[in-house]
Amino acid sequence: MKSELPKVLQPLAGRSLLAHVVAAARRLEPASIHVVYGHGGEQVRAALKGEALDWALQAEQKGTGHAVMQAMPAIAATDQVLVLYGDVPLVRPETLARLVAASDERTLAILSVRLPDPTGYGRVLRDNAGSVYRIVEQKDATRKELSVDEVNTGLLCAPAGALSGWLGELKNDNAQGEYYLTDVVAMAVRQGYKVTAIAAPTIPEVLGINDKLQLAEVEAEYRRARSRELMLEGVTLVDPARLDVRGEVTVGRDVTIEPNVILEGRVSLGHRVTIGAGCVLTDVSIGDDTKVHPYSVLVEADVGRGCVIGPYARLRPGTQLADEAHVGNFVELKNTRLGAGSKANHLTYLGDAQIGANVNVGAGTITCNYDGANKWRTVIEDGAFIGSGSMLVAPVTVGSGATIGAGSTLTRAAPRDALTLERARQQTIARWNRPTKLAPAEKAEREAASRLPEPEDPAPR
């Protein structure tokens, strides 16, 4: 990968390759999941520290068979073992379930796929009756064997007791000097076990990743698959190729998503929601009939019905919009509740605020919520009107029905149903001249005069 990040931690659709594989395995409800790690292992363990996993160290990388050997001591002989790969992230739980169902105490099941160009993959060899009898790696295959287009994906399911025995008999007398997991197929055949190959329904879900080019190709396949799922659920995607889904999305009817949208984490979109171009939504719930205009960013926000957001709005964590609320262009909310029918339409920051219903917040208003050490709360009650360019220095309360005159800096509570102003008296100086450009020497002299004096040395003792 030509990266300091281990391959299995390379990002795909917002999470690591290995996290995708673990998530697919988790869907099968296994008794345990074992991760064999080697290169960059501590990074890998740290990245998945929140997962319930059993870790097995492969101190030396001696091939796939050697890797599986490291996990087997922690697995009961009566278990079934499903072997997955940390760099094959798109395999679907449904495919894995078919593979597990095909295996039993006398059957080894492998996952195969037919490729137009099988170069680089181990070939699945079948006898005249169509039964699998061997898998041969590319570098060890004859010319005839290389003509086979059915290849081994590496994924298999086997009875643990038999698998442990086969692994113990592996030899590394091959071109790579490695212990190939695929050699257990021939061993199973010799011992009278049935070997069955389950065909992967699609090529993309068994694609492995070895470089950044393949990573990009797999990411494109992932985007296509997620876009297809949403369209089958009734979502209108203006350009399916330009949607990134990086989490779990639930949708109502008649949702429309414009190009270049990113959906991350858990996103819920109600009926008739429209998401404009270039929006980023992370862990967001949006109610019916809400419109998010282009280039808005919503993170950990809860949005009600019939809201209008953006363009270029930012809802930060803890934001709640009640029904019919409006948040306009270049407005930012953080840890703030904007009540039903309230509006903040232009160039405004509302942080740590509780805003009631039918409040109008004028352009350029700021809740001054941070004093350099503590965060303070602003309360604006129902029906208040905040004039443009107002500074609300928290903690402060604006009463219901109150009006704050434009340009005011509020430091004390504003009573309900009254006009509160805070402005310096306007003055006009008639005989005033604008500054003129100074010569460099004169400018330097004035700058020197404006500097603070150097502190005097303390008197000697």
pTM: 0.88
Choice among 39, 66, 293, 346 that is catalytic = 346
Look up the CATH number of domain 7-206: 3.90.550.10
Average the pLDDT over 208-224 and give the result.
Answer: 96
Residues 189 and 133 sit within 8 Å (Cβ to Cβ): yes
Examine the pLDDT at 455 and tell me if it is beyond 70. yes
Mark whether 293 is an active-site residue.
Answer: no
Please give the pLDDT value at position 452: 82
- When pLDDT is cut at 50, 70 and 90, the band that residue 130 belongs to is confident
Percentage of residues of the chain with pLDDT beyond 90: 90
CATH class, 212-420 region: mainly beta
Same topology, domains 7-206 and 212-420? Answer is no
pLDDT in tens, 339-360: 999 999 999 999 999 999 999 9
Ordered by start, the domain boundaries in the chain are 7-206, 212-420
pLDDT of residue 176: 86
Distance CA 269, CA 340 (A): 19
- Do β-strands 391-393 and 366-368 pair in parallel, antiparallel, or remain unpaired? parallel
pLDDT band at 306 (very low <50, low <70, confident <90, very high): very high
Between CA 431 and CA 46 the distance in angstroms is 70
Residue 309: count of CB within 10 angstroms of its CB:
28
Taking 70 as the threshold, does the pLDDT of residue 460 lie above it? no
Residue 88 CB partners (closer than 8 Å, separation 6+): 21, 153, 154, 155, 206, 207, 208, 209
Confidence of residue 461 (pLDDT cuts 50, 70, 90): low
The partner residues of 366 in beta bridges, in order of sequence, read: 349, 391
Region for residue 278 given its phi and psi (left: phi exceeds 0; alpha: psi -120 to 50; beta: otherwise): left
Quick check: 459 pLDDT over 90? no
Return the H-helix or E-strand segment holding 27: none
List all residues 6 or more positions away from 79 whose beta carbon is below 8 Å from its beta carbon: 31, 159, 160
Question: Cα–Cα distance between 347 and 199 in angstroms, integer?
Answer: 57
Residue 88 has pLDDT above 80, yes or no: yes
- 361: buried, middle or exposed (CB in 10 Å: 19+, 13-18, 0-12)? buried
User: Measuring CA to CA, which residue among 161, 163, 181 is closest to residue 64?
Assistant: 181
**Which residues of 255-361 form beta strands (DSSP E)?**
256-257, 261-269, 274-275, 280-286, 291-292, 297-299, 302-303, 308-309, 314-315, 320-321, 326-334, 337-338, 343-351, 353-355, 360-361
